[in-house]
Amino acid sequence: MKTTVEERRINVGGLTIRYFTAGNDDDPPLVLLHGDGESALDWSWVLPILAATHRVYAPDLPGAGDSSKPDVVYSPEFYTQFVAGFLNAFGLRRAVLVGNSIGGLVALRFALSYSEAVTALVLVDSSGLGYLVSPFLSQLTLPWYGEAAIAWSKTPLGAKQRAWSRALLLFAHPTRVPAAWLAEQVRMAQMPGFLEATLSALRAELNLFGQYKVLLDSLPQLQMPTLVMWGTRDQILPKEQAEDAVKRLKQGQLALIPDCGHLPHVERPGLFAAVLIQFLDKIAY
């Protein structure tokens, strides 16, 4: 039977949040958090598969997709409190958290602060596990440089150029990028407030020299099962960060996705879902 994915909206802390959901209400909850400059659409290639065994929720984070874009500092702290509010809005006392890129950093921060609410943690090419990051991103933290990039990327031609530039950076095989992903990038770039929120989140996480919100020393505190999943050809964050992180986890597992970039759930959804399901099958809910 074909899984129905529903697009809905909910109020969280006064913000209108778009989210996608699928699965049975009686199944364990699974929350998917996308990366900076992305949207919940990223999960659409794996969400129906995961919904066979879980009630899945994939929100557009504030500032992204079709969610509200308030004029705030989009810091990891802000996003962490949003996740707390999102779970509370559904009455979810415990859930599996899956986070990609900055979504991974947010999931990790939430797990460290609210461990009793996290059944298991999955960090997908996650920020916060090492200082090194692609200079293509860190240079955007320079004064005025990011603002100039925003001004150009809001134009129709600039939005298309930005989408293809991101594809070259985020995927091992840019020519195979789904057309729907590229269209979403072009659409969002021209939405008021989206690029400003993206840049704010980037600057709250990075400086010119790399990441400064690194939580490696906190990893031994995690008690829940944790899967670290990484594309072997990630140009944003090197796979060595994953290998270092998993050594510090009490219940850590490492899964390297071969011939894949920063978004394995988009680039290799079948393998991503298979690895994640294998991990989830061993969780005691």
pTM over 0.85: yes
Confidence at residue 194, expressed as pLDDT on a 0 to 100 scale? 97
Q: Kindly tell me if the per-residue pLDDT of 146 is higher than 70.
A: yes
Beta bridge partners of 253: 227
Domain boundaries, the chain: 6-131+214-280
Cα of 130 vs its chain's centroid, Å: 17
pLDDT digits (tens, 9 = 90+) for 174-221: 999 999 999 999 999 999 999 999 999 999 999 889 998 899 999 999
pLDDT of residue 285: 78
Cα R_g (the chain), whole angstroms: 17
CA 206 to chain centre: 16
* Structure-block tokens of residue 116: 């009793």
Tell me the per-residue pLDDT of 40-92, one tens digit each, with 9 for 90 and over: 999 999 999 999 999 999 999 999 999 999 999 999 999 999 999 999 999 99
Between the alpha carbon of residue 230 and those of residues 32, 91, 236, the distances in Å are: 16, 31, 11
CA distance 119 to 101: 20
Cβ atoms 160, 154 nearer than 8 A: no
1 has a pLDDT exceeding 70: no
**Which band of pLDDT confidence, cut at 50, 70 and 90, is reported for residue 3?**
confident
Q: Tell me how far apart the alpha carbons of residues 98 and 221 are, in angstroms, rounded to a whole number.
A: 18
DSSP E strands, the chain: 6-12, 15-22, 29-33, 55-59, 95-100, 118-124, 206-207, 210-211, 226-231, 252-257
For 9-24, the pLDDT digits (tens) are: 999 999 999 999 999 9
Reading the block at residue 200, the tokens are: 């704010």
Cβ neighbors of 270 (< 8 A, separation 6 or more) are none
Q: Dump pLDDT digits (tens) for 93-142.
A: 999 999 999 999 999 999 999 999 999 999 999 999 999 999 988 888 88
- Indicate the fold that domain 6-131+214-280 takes in CATH: Rossmann fold (3.40.50)
Torsion of Cα atoms, 117 then 47 then 104 then 247, to 10° = 90
Q: Give residue for tokens 């979810």.
A: 92
> Among candidates 127, 46, 114, which has minimal Cα distance to 83?
114
State the amino acid at position 210 in one-letter form. Answer: G
